[in-house]
Every structure is written in C-alpha cells, then in structure tokens.
Amino acid sequence: MSGTIVKRTPFFKILIANRGEIALRIMRSARRLGHGVVAVYSDADRDALHVREADQAVRIGEALPAQSYLKIDAIIAAAKASGAGAVHPGYGFLAENEDFAQACRDAGLVFIGPSPEAILAMGNKAGAKEIMQRAGVPCVPGYQGADQSDAVMLAEARTIGFPVMIKAVAGGGGRGMRLVTDAAAFPDALRSARSEAQGAFGDPTVILERAIVNPRHIEIQVFGDRHGNAIHLGERDCSVQRRHQKLVEEAPSPAVTPELRARMGAVAVQAVKAIGYEGAGTLEFLLDRAGNFYFMEMNTRLQVEHPVTEAITGLDLVELQLRVASGAPLGLTQEDIKFFGHAIEVRLCSEDAAHDFMPQSGTMARWQMPDGIRVEHALQSGSEIPPFYDSMIAKVISQGTTRAEARGKLICALEQLTAFGITTNQGFLIDCLRHPVFARGEATTAFIGDNREALLAVRPDRGSDVALAALLLYVTHPHAPPWQRGRSLSATFPLGLRIDLGHGVQEIEIVRERDGSYLAIRNGDRFSFVIDELGQDSIRFHHDGVMEHAQFLRDGDRLYILHRGVTLAARDLTLAPPESATAAGGDGKVRAAMNGRVVAVLVKPGDKVAAGQPVMTLEAMKMEHVHTAGVAGTVSSIDVAEGEQVTTGKIVVEIEGTTLIYEAACPVPSFSQQAT
C-alpha cells in the first residue's frame, strides 16, 4: 500500500459488548495500554464481576438476559452515553455480526474487529466456502444452495452420501450442527438444527457437508492490518469435543509437522490478503489421517482458545487487536513469529458429564482457583450461574517446555480447583487429559465418542468415596458428638445413613470406636478412619495407613468434597422418603430437567405416546435438550407454551399412564442414641 494514506482511528475509552470472563480478559489488556473500559449488563448480570470491575457500566436489558447482549441499538446508545470511542465485541454474541460492525461505523465508533464487508464475506459458511474454492483452498464437499426446502435438502444429502453434517450457515460453537448417519434420521435432525440456529443466530439457514471420518480439528490464527500486512500465528488443535463444542485445545498440534504448518499457514495468509482482512481471525480446517486438510469456516473474531497461542508466541492478541483497530500497522512480520514450548487449555463447564453433559445452573457456593496457572473466569464464591448463557464458566491454561509438562501441570491445577455447589466437568476433563490416547497425542474428533465408557466410568474406589462422605456427614452434623482427638470414654451405636453421590442411594453405618477412630461399614466392607484435624472446611485423616486431606463444604443436607483431585457431591437422604418413579416421569408427568426455554412442544392433548417418545424440547445454555415420555399413555395436558422460560422440576407435559404406590420411609436412629 505504498503511497496510500492510511486513516488512523485513535480511541481512549472502550465499551466491551460482552460479559463474564470475556469482558474481564479484554479489560485487562485495555487497561494495561491505558484505555478506559465500559461494561454493559442485563438484569441477570447486575452484580456480576465484569460490571463491578469496569470504570463504568450501562444496563441494556431485562426480560431475556441472553437477548440483551444482542440489542445493537441499546449497545450503541450505551457507548454514546458513556463517552466510549470504540467497541470491542468480545468473542461471542455480536462479534461476527456485520450489522453490528456497520452500526458502530455509522455511529462514528471504532469497531475492534474486521470490517462489516469482511464479516459478511467470511462469516457466512456458504459464502466463505465459495470464496475459498475460488482461491484454490481445498474445501469439504457439500451443498450450500439457496433452496432450503426439506425435499431438496434430503436429496442433496443423499447425493453427498451419509454420514453428512448439517451446519447453521451463520453458526459457531457447535450450535445448529448435527451429524446424521442415515436418511431416516435426516428430517428430525434438520428441524432441530434449524430451530437451534434460529434461536442462537436469528437465521435458520443451513448447509450440508460430507462428514470426514475421525479427523483432527485444526485452526490457524491469523492477523491482518489496513496496511496490507498479514501473518499467521501457528495452529491450535481443537479435536477434543462434545456436541461439536470444544473442550480441550492445545498449541501446537501433535499431528502437525513444521512442513504442514507452513502449508496451512500460507493458505490462511493468502485468504486474509485476498479479502483485505483486518484484525484477528481464525481459519478452521479438518485434517484427515493422510495429512489432507479441508477448509470448514472462518471465524472473524478472537477465539475462546486464543490463550494457548499467546502462551507459545509470547504475544497479547487483544493488544494486537487494539493496535490494528487504531490504524497502526501490526509491527510484526512472519519471520518475527517464533514458537516455544507447548500450551493446553480446558473449558470448565457447568454441566453433568455423567448425564449427557446436561447444563447446570444455580449458586457456586465455593469457588477457589489454583495458584501458578492462568485461569480466565469471572466468578467468586456465591456467584450465580444463570441458565441463559453458554455453560463454560472458566478456562484453565497451562504452559510447559514440552507437551508432557504442560499436560502434567494442567492435571495438577484441575486437581486443586475448588468448585462447590454446581456440578462441573472438572473430573471429566482430568480423565480426558490422563487418557492414554490423549497422552500419546492421538485424539481426534471421535475421542470422546470412542472412549465415552472409560471416561465416564465410576471410580474404582467408590466405596472409599462413600465412606468418606458418610464420615463427613456424621462429624459435621449439627447434633453430632463433638470431635476430639484421641480416645473417648463413650462409643456410639451404629448410625445408619442413606446417601447419594450421583450413582444411586448407598446404605452405610458409622461407628465411633473407643480409641477415637471411626468405622464406616458398607455392604460388609469396613473402612477405618482416624481424624487428625477437623476444621470448618478441611479435614486431615489417616485411612489405610496413609495420611490424606480433603476440602469440604456442608450446606444443609448437601456435602461437597474435593479429595484426590475429584469433586464429590453427596446428598444426605437419611430422613428423606425413598426415591420413586416420580423423578423419572414414571407418574406420567414430564418435568423440566433444567432451567431453560421451551423451543418446541412436540405433542398435543389427546395424542397417544410411547415410553421414551420425545414430547418437548428445552433450550438451556445455548443447547437443545429433548424431553421424553416416562410412560406410555395419552397426553392429558400441556402445561407450557413455546417460548416460555421454565425452572428445573416444572411439570411441562402430563400423560395418563401408570398408577404408582409409594411406601413410607423407615425410621432411622438419631445422633442422641449413645451408650456409655
């Protein structure tokens, strides 16, 4: 661009059109560079950490919190009201919305991202593939035509050949995406993908692609500026996924050689220059076993997993974004980019991996992050996890001189992480990192599916877990005999407890011996404990000749324990009636499995349904979850409407089915029964 005058667009104060850890991450770099920062918030986030940390904060919505962050007019008005001169969209919500970028331009605000034209060109999957094909970039075979009729889509899927992928044309993050293995399943998958795409992106249009079997998911980080400079910052391997959403990302990829990195990087830079791209972007590819790579899409924004690239390059990618947006040149050439070491990131999500990764919401009773490792989050003890947003609550990033070192550091960090009150995928992530396939660097996109049984297996020492939970429930009970070190003049009768650690109710007895030790008896197995120290939130004890310690939190009949790197959530059911078929819908009432929004009611009153038949689809944390009938029978009532927000346990559909008889609970001994 020699001889061309490049317009500079300086700014001081930045409004961040996002929330949570994303907003905090951007604030950190912006403040380091001397910029003021402004937050926006919905009513659900009034007390959120990103709101309190900002210099200013502006309310932008109330009723549907997730939709508040999509209100372009409200965000532009907030920028004007706060005096911000620039808007950073974060890496979600409006980050890839060309209308938002254009609205910022029209309002005289600097949009910290690519131009509206580049977002439009590359943000649409169908259009992006056409651009890449013209540029000679290899693409996955598929259909991206304008005719979206059911009949045409099915015919094109047959032509491509099953299995095929359905993808939202405006999508990302795995939403609006379905893998379909045969023609019979295609119509339902198409409907579901369109519904999810409409809800997440406001556009139900989808494309079809041939499913590449067991590929690697490789992405190339790129940067361009308005001076015509373009570089790549190497690759990230994002193959470990569930529901087409990434869980583990690393850089560099164990499968990419220096020669392959150079080829893929050159293709990515060529694409950036072809469209005059400015700012941060990511080109995503599928890499097959033979080393062939195929373009999938371009994300015209900063990625969630950008910290691993920062770790191996020593660059601050948000700083580069701000530099480019101000009109300054990148200040880097490809030869300046050096890679060192290895980095791995995991996404800590509020979800129950053992129950199909069901999203969880509620109060995070205790939140404590490990020292000496990078963690991106926006939580503290007592924070609310709402059902309106993505289930990711933190990113934990490790760095080492080798991949083995980075993996070891990350496992240790996750073992120390305390997240009590909400079920998370903490243990699942540890199991993924420890799995031999991942350890060897051989994980593909099929990793979780192929190893699901092993990754979700119940721990072999579950008996010890139950015994420890029972012991803690006993000694922390408000009416329990006070703990004291050493021998006791009194011993107790066996106290029967019924507890649940998520794998069904367990019966166990606790006895305090005269020598001061405790005995836990379960199914004839005996577990002996000697407590050395008992604090408000920690215990140190001997078990099987080994001294151990655990962190815990007692909250009514709930007990949370961090022991040997695994978080256990126990529930005291000693005084509760036996579990019945009611919870599973065996009484004919289908209940919402989580807080969420009803996106589809699939039956109507009078319909005959079979047990297991889908009756309602609920959206929570940007994912759809189908609810099924617990019994066969006739639908007698629909208790919700499409679009309604429901809470966990609410009855949504009633079916006239089986009548159940319940038995009363048997009495149990109390703490007051002692013998001297």
State pLDDT tens for residues 431-463.
999 999 999 999 999 999 999 999 998 776 678
Write down the pLDDT at residue 584. 53
Q: How far apart are CA 446 and CA 173, in angstroms?
A: 17
Cβ-proximal residues to 543 (8 Å cutoff; 6+ apart), any chain:
464, 468, 527, 528, 529, 530
3-state secondary structure 398-421: EEECCHHHHHHHHHHHHHHCEEEC
Q: What residues pair up with 344 in beta bridges, in sequence order? A: 250, 398
Q: What is the pLDDT of residue 372?
A: 92
Rg of the chain over Cα atoms, rounded to whole angstroms, equals 27
- Strand-strand pairing, 645-646 and 596-601: antiparallel
Strands 13-16 and 86-88: parallel
Residue 383 CA to residue 421 CA, distance in Å, equals 10
Residues 590, 593, 597, 603, CA torsion sign: negative
Residue whose pair of structure tokens reads 């001294």 in the numeric block = 547
DSSP letters for 24-39: HHHHHHHHHTT-EEEE
pTM: 0.84
- Pick the closest to residue 285 from 263, 304, 318 (CA basis): 263
**Rounded to 5 degrees, what are φ and ψ at 169?**
-65, -30
Q: State the amino acid at position 645 in one-letter form.
A: Q
First to last CA, the chain: 93
Contacts of 339 (CB under 8 A, 6+ apart): 234, 252, 312, 313
Q: Residue 253: name the closest of 370, 377, 403, 133 by CA.
A: 403
DSSP class per residue in 495-533 = EEEEEESSSSEEEEEEEE-TTS-EEEEETTEEEEEEEEE
On whether the CB atoms of residues 368 and 417 are closer than 8 A, the answer is: yes
Sorted by where each starts, the structural domains of the chain and their CATH numbers stand as: 13-112 (3.40.50.20), 141-210 (3.30.1490.20), 216-455 (3.30.470.20), 463-576 (3.30.700.40), 581-656 (2.40.50.100)
Type of residue numbered 533? E
- Tell me the three state secondary structure of residue 251: strand
Question: Which residue type occupies 647?
Answer: T
pLDDT number for residue 135: 76
Q: Of 25, 194, 216, 301, which is the active-site residue?
A: 301
Query: What are the tokens at 80?
Result: 């004007």
Give me the residues of the chain with pLDDT under 50, please: 1, 580-581, 583, 658-676
Concerning whether 301 is annotated as a catalytic residue, the answer is: yes
What is the helix (H) or strand (E) element at residue 309, kind and residue range?
A: helix 306-313
Integer Cα distance of 421 and 132 in angstroms: 47
Contact 119, 101 (CB under 8 A): yes
